[in-house]
Structure 1
Amino acid sequence: MRIVIDMNLSPRWAAVLEDSGIAADHWTGLGAPTASDGEIMTYAAAHGAIVLTNDLDFGAILAASGESTPSVVQIRADDVSPEAIGVHLVRALRQMADELAAGALVTVEPARARISLLPLSTG
């Protein structure tokens, strides 16, 4: 499993994920800071990576595209810091690893995680 961390999340996420045995790179080390969400999605799909974000636009891009990759994990919490929700995120990534490998949209909240398999239906 390889994670590409969106610009809207702290670069600290990379170390937290790496310490948990999950390969991760923050977008600042991969591409231009002005890259569009579509560019990040294209990069992740080409490299077999999962996008980690708290931006709902990535789910909308998946729904509009009808694609099965890349998988996206959305953090939905008031505090999106690794200290606040890191344990929940790592648990969800491990529990849903097979689905993420096949194509999924996962939403992680402090009290629960939800999953939708790709491609998403727009109707």
Structure 2
Amino acid sequence: MKFLADMGVSPVTVLALRQQGYNAVHLNEQGLERLPDSEILEKARQEQRIVLTFDLDFGELLAISSQSLPSVIIFRVQNTIPVFVSSRLLAVLSECGEDLETGAIVTVEDNRYRVRRLPI
């Protein structure tokens, strides 16, 4: 799996993914700090990446588009410390990787996660 981290996601989380062997990039690393959400989705689609974000707008954009990719992981956690976010992400990936490969919005909370298959 390949990932594209939105600006709200810590580089620590990107590093944690890389340490686990995932291909992960952060918008900041590519000088794309101000890229609009719709263009982030298009970039992820073209590069076959899963978007990591704290921004609910991505779910809405995907619902409007009726497309099945890219998948998006939305963090809705109380504890936003990067180490916690990273551990939650890795736990969720081990359980719903197949859903993410075929197209889904995964909402990650402190103690649970929800999967909505795309298109919506």
TM-score (normalised: structure 2): 0.94
Partner of residue 105, structure 2: 105
1:55-106, Cα deviation, whole Å (9 max, x unpaired): 0000000111111010000011123232123212111112111110100000
Q: Percent identity?
A: 38
Contact residue 88 and residue 110 of structure 1 kept, 8 A: yes
Q: How far did 1:31 drift?
A: 4.4
1:5 aligns with 2:5: yes
What's the TM-score, normalizing by structure 1? 0.92
- The aligned runs of 1:44-123 (5 Å cut-off) are 44-120=44-120
What CA distance in whole angstroms lies between the structure 2 residues aligned with 1:46 and 1:30?
15
Residue 28 (1) aligns with residue 28 (2): yes
Asked if the contact 1:2–1:24 (Cα under 8 Å) also holds between the matched residues in 2, the reply is yes
Q: Is the 8 A contact 1:3 1:51 kept in 2?
A: yes
SS of 2:48's equivalent?
coil
For 2:59, give the aligned amino acid.
G
Residue range with higher mean Cα deviation, 38-47 or 18-27: 18-27
In structure 1, the gaps of 5 or more residues are none
| Distance (whole Å) between structure 2 residues aligned to residue 27 and residue 2 of structure 1 | 13
Cα distance in 1 for partners of 2:39, 2:65 equals 14
Displaced runs of 4+ in structure 1, greater than 4 A? none
Deviations 1:7-39 (A, max 9, x none): 111122111111122221111123421110111
Check conservation: 2:75, 2:107, Cα contact below 8 A.
yes
Aligned residue type for 2:115:
I
Tell me the number of residue pairs that the alignment of Structure 1 and Structure 2 aligns. 120
